[in-house]
Amino acid sequence: MAEVPGLSLDPEVAAALPPWSEVLERLATPGRRRVADVLADAGAAGVPVTQPRCGIGAHDGMVDLLRTLERAGPGILTITIDSHTRLRDFATAARLAAGSPADLNGYPLVAHGWRRGRELVASVGVPLQVRHGSPDPRDLFAVALAAGITSFEGGPIGYNLPYAKDVPLAVSLRAWREVDQVCGLLAEHGVVVDRELFGTLTAVLVPPSTSIAMTLLEAVGAVEAGVRCLSVSYPQGGETHQDVAALRAIRSLARRYLGVEVHAVLHQYMGPFPRSRPAASALIVQGGLVARLGGAAKVVTKTEQEAEGIPDARANADGLALAALGAADLFGFARLDEDRVAEEQHWIEREVAELVDPVLQGPDLALGIEAAFAAGRLDVPFSASRHARAEVVPRRDPSGAIRYGDSARLPFSDPVRRRNAALLGPGDDRSVFAATSADIHYFQQDRGMVPR
């Protein structure tokens, strides 16, 4: 594995891996469906597949969890990675995996190793994706490939600024560039790795154009590196017309800027969830419907237990069923105000263009991204990273759609700024903190989810 062109690995991790020729031969062996195949079929059918989040520290428990969730009918299953592995603290992850795996908040794939990773792949009949949150995922990526996993989430912006406090963008941009170059190398051998870009960001009041702009910039770099299968994820904001418009804008903007087809992915609402079970169920069903109306190929599901903590397997399976219900033919009669959706999509695409065009017009993509964040021309709301200004203040308008209450230094035109201000309407007597907090907890008030 160490001889893979351009992929720099920790020597101990590299030494434990099988030869690259064996990994490549195994990945190229026909017969097993890959995530790219599942997404292509879902896009052709017009019905999104479902995927749960799941990951625990114990290997046998992870096998059992995957088998349990497979019975609920997802198209893709997940290996969510623990936080120690995400930050390359492999020694701590290994120590906990050996002695107290319940103390891990995900599956430590590097610690368990590629052989156990292959056991996970073989344990179920649907393909797996690795989800993690690492600004430097090169070692994790290498182990995932050796395990036979061909779907890897993340990117240099989305898996840095929302997750890490002080990882320079130059570090994550360089690391993820190596990952994408290996994906390009694999594609030359007929192995298509799905690369899902994490537009969810901080998952708190993320304006659609911010989400899409970040993933679009990551996608440009990925395509340049040779990636052949791109999924672009978007976090459900909660206002149906805006969410549908955002999902449709992903594919439209991909055609404009990338010249390749991408798969839109909806992450069901990731903010504070309704406390009542009926309201939580309604929000999950709504997410499935939004995914279908927006043309998403996949919906990453939530559960009725989100407001209580980490969901158990039963709740996770129920969440899959509810999301699939929302995306089913049963709701084929559902229609939206298409003029309203089209107007929303137009303005989302305009905002995205005003954010990304100045970066893309520069001579170097990575340097342009770094400079834009340093100047505040790109920003991530509520980011804990020192490398994002976090000056943008999003707000909900009276319909529940997410707007820019304060767009700070973003390079928006006067028409864009005036539209956001007009849709938000006159201010109120609350402080910015109180008003924003109320918007964050919007669905914990069961807004429109259950009868009064």
Catalytic residues: 86, 153
Q: Give CA–CA dist 452/450, Å, rounded.
A: 6
Estimate to the nearest angstrom the gap between the alpha carbon of 342 and the chain centroid.
24
Torsions phi, psi of 156, nearest 5? -70, -20
Q: Is residue 42 within 8 Å of residue 264, measured between CB atoms? A: no
Residue with tokens 């290498």: 142
Burial of 46 (0-12, 13-18, 19+ CB in 10 A): exposed
For the chain, helix, strand, coil in percent to 5 are 50, 10, 40
Q: Is residue 401 within 8 Å of residue 237, measured between CB atoms? A: yes
DSSP character at residue 329: G
Handedness of CA 53, 213, 440, 402 (dihedral sign): negative
DSSP 35-47: HHHHHHHHHHHT-
* Residue 421, SS3 per DSSP: helix
Torsions phi, psi of 82, nearest 5? -70, 160
**Six-digit token pair at 309?**
């903590």
Residues near 267 by Cβ (< 8 Å), separated by ≥ 6? Answer: 199, 200, 203, 233, 234, 235, 236, 299, 300
Which residue from 313, 246, 307, 318 is spatially nearest to 285, judged by alpha carbons? 318
Q: Give CA–CA dist 118/61, Å, rounded.
A: 15
Torsions phi, psi of 232, nearest 5? -120, 115
